[in-house]
Every structure is written in C-alpha cells, then in structure tokens.
Amino acid sequence: MRALALYVHQCLNKINLDHFISVSSLHTSSSVSAKQHYKMLVLGGGSGGIAMSARMKRMMGAENVAVVEPSEMHYYQPIWTLVGAGAKTAASSGRSTASVMPSGVKWVKSKVEEINPDTNTVRTDDGTEISYEYLIVALGLQLHYERIKGLPDGFEHPKIGSNYSIQTVEKTWNALQNFKGGNAVFSFPNTPVKCAGAPQKIMYLSDSYLRKTGKRSKAKIIYNTSLPVLFGVKKYADSLWEIVKQRDLQVNLRQNLIEVRADKQEAVFENLDKPGETTVIEYEMLHVTPPMGPSLAIKGGPLADEVGWLDVDRDTLQHKRYPNVFGIGDCTNLPTVRTAAAVAAQSAILNRTISKTLKKEKPDKKYDGYTSCPLVTSYNTVILAEFDYNLQPLETFPINQAKERRLMYHMKADLMPHLYWHGLLRGLWGGPGPYRKLLHLGMK
C-alpha cells in the first residue's frame, strides 16, 4: 500500500509539474506574440510608409523596422485619373503589398487601432501591442462617401463613378462610355482632398472623349467646386480658365455636393455662400469626389492637432510634441497639397531629419512645401503645376509649365509610374523638387 501511495504521489507531482510547464509555456508564448518591439515602427503601407521603410532599412537594418498595414494590395493612385477615362486599366495600378514591402522588414498585417506616444506603443485591431523607439506615421486620410446623402449606396446605380476608390474608378469609365447626352457633372467637396487637381482632370478627359466620339454637342459639362477658385496657384489657374472658356465648360464656384438621388439621376448642391440654398441638377453622368478627413487612428488622439491631422513641424516633419514621432504624406497637417510628388519631396527631408535625430543633432534641412499636380487636360496634354507652401511656382523645367504639353502627358502616364514603383517605393527617388532628378538624367 505504501508503494502504491508513493507511486500515486509521484504521478500527481508530475501532472502538476506538467500542468505548470504547460501553463507557463502558454503564457510566455502568448505574451511574445501579443507584444513586439522595434527600433522604427512605420504606420501605413502607402507611398509614404513604404518609401520610408525602405530608407529606414538602409539606415538601421531590416530587423529593426516594421510596417503596420492591413491591405494585401498597394495601388499607385495617381493613375486612377487615367483609369477613369479609359486610358489605363485598373489592374495596372495595383501590385501586392508583399511585392513592394522592403525585404527583411517585418510586415504586421493589421489595422492601427490606437497610438499611445506617452508609452511608445501602438495597439492593432487584433489586440497586439507593439512598442517602438521611433515612430513614422503615414496613415493617409479617410474617404467619407457616407457624408453625402445617398452614398455609397448610390454607386449601385449606373452613370455614377469616382476616381478616388478602386471599387468605383471603373464605374467612371462605364458612365463615360455609356453617355448619350445631357449633363455630365463633376464635384469637388468642402474638405481638404488628396490630389486637388484630380476632380477637374476627369472633366477635361471626359470633354476630350465626348469630342472624339461625336457626343460633345449633346453634352453640357458642369464642374461644381466648393472652392472660391478654379486652382490655388494663379499662374496655372489662368491657363485652366482659358481651357474652360475654349471648351465651353461650365464652372460653378462655392457649390458643395450634399446629396445624390441615384435612382432619379439627381445631384443636390448647396451654395456655400448662401447656406441652406440648394440646387438640384439632373445628370447623365456624375463623378463624385468624396469628402475626406483625418485617419480615425489619429483623430482625437494625443498626436492630432485641433482638427484631427497629425501635428508635425512644417519644416522638419517631426511631431511638435513628441520628438521620436514623425509624419509624412496625407495624414499630416502640412499646409500643402496632398500628392505623391509631395511625398517624394518629403521622404528625403524626413530621412535627413531622422538621421540627425538619431545622432542627437538638430535637423538642418527644411521642407519648403514642394508639391506637384500634373493637370491632365486631354488624352495627350498636361499642364505640370509645381509649387511651394506659398502657392508660388517652384518649377523644374526651363519652359513655361503653365502651357499644355504632350511631353508632360507622357511623363505623367508612362514615366512617373515607373519612377514610383522602382524609385520612390525603394527609397531611391525623391528630394526637394523630385522631378529635378530627371534633368540630371538628361530627360529634359
């Protein structure tokens, strides 16, 4: 009996020990998977996030860098203007995120839920907590179709599209192809937007398409913008107004789209100078530029300004209150137009800022607000607008860039996508006035 009791006691001890080991192992492995640490954490896998992660890989080693991005696909969004006009395919605008992620850099396939700069941690939507030494925020902005009554459900109907989303850009081309006659209406919302020229680019392309297909005489083309101007830089605005007059395009300023009645093919606009006054326009084609706003992961948090944008220094792109946090691209409150060219310029400045910060030195390069907007005015012409914080032209080429040019169209349609995929995203192209590198390559 004593031998049996001893055997049972040994078995119970072993069971308890095994249980203890099992539980300890479980807790250890779960805590490892739930918490990660990186010297440089990049939030967002868009153009700014990928470009900076490539630069950070070279600066501090791939094993020290991670990118938080939920999307399996990465899109070159500037080409969607041409996709909506049938000049490029939607498929040509996208590549897998895996193919553009710098090799060796950790890809966290999650969505950012919360940023806590006081504890240097980020929480993702699956509950994972990631800590960091330094943080780059490149979360882009949020599209808000739902702020227009009747959307996004209205996209279920034909004759309405939007070049700002991969889900709706081909609907623009379908609406244009099927246009028979009547009003073709294009909107610009009463919010900041990315690529502020895009809402009118599709208008010029639609005009060109309708002329080419013999339908222009049956069309009335209307551009309703919430802005008090056609374009913010006078030099280019003057040229655009000439095009508007020559092509008989109707531009209405201070008109904001507030409702789409897709079943009736009606768009409702509010007069911003006379609140409450609305106009209903019947359409045969409608292109919607949605209201846009700050990333929800930033808005209302400690990194945001009073409106909700990432609060960074306009010269260095370093956060105003947290010196180990930096920002790039559409998510920031930099007072410049949000474009891929702006990201290219910002990436070189931010790289320099971070390099100096790591050495405990003061940043010595300033971002001047450079941005560029290739204003597509037909299927073979572009006005290349380049300017700074003060809306003053900051041009690359020794020609009048306010003039429509075929060469600039080919740069927009053919050269820039190549530079994007093989230059910017690899952290190899960019800098103040990034087009200037083309001159160094002899591409005048």
Q: How many CB atoms lie within 10 A of CB 60?
A: 18
Given a contact cutoff of 8 angstroms between Cβ atoms, the answer to whether 371 and 343 are in contact is no
Active site residue 373: yes
Residue of 257, 310, 373, 394 marked active site: 373
Across the beta sheet with 219-225, the strand order is 160-161, 285-287, 182-188, 219-225, 250-253
Task: Evaluate whether 352 touches 359 at the Cβ level (below 8 Å).
Answer: no
**DSSP state string for 245-295:** HHTT-EEEETEEEEEEETTTTEEEEEETTSTT-EEEEE-SEEE-PPPEEE-
Please give the full DSSP string across 51-101, using - where no structure is assigned.
Answer: HHHHHHHHHH-GGGEEEE---SEEE-GGGHHHHHTTSS-SGGGEEEHHHHS
| 171 three-state secondary structure | helix
Q: 342 forms bridges with which residues in the sheet?
A: none
* Amino acid letter, residue 203: M
CA distance 170 to 283: 18
DSSP sequence for 395-432 = --SSS-TTS-BHHHHHIIIIIHHHHHHHTGGGT-S-SS
Can you say whether residue 24 is alpha, beta or left, with left for phi > 0 and alpha for psi between -120 and 50 degrees? alpha
**CA-to-CA distance for 332 and 310, rounded, in angstroms?**
4
Q: Which of 137, 184, 142 is nearest to 159 (CA)?
A: 184
How remote is the C-alpha of 273 from its chain's centroid? 30
Among residues 41, 83, 112, 195, the one annotated as catalytic is: 195
User: What are the catalytic residues?
Assistant: 195, 373
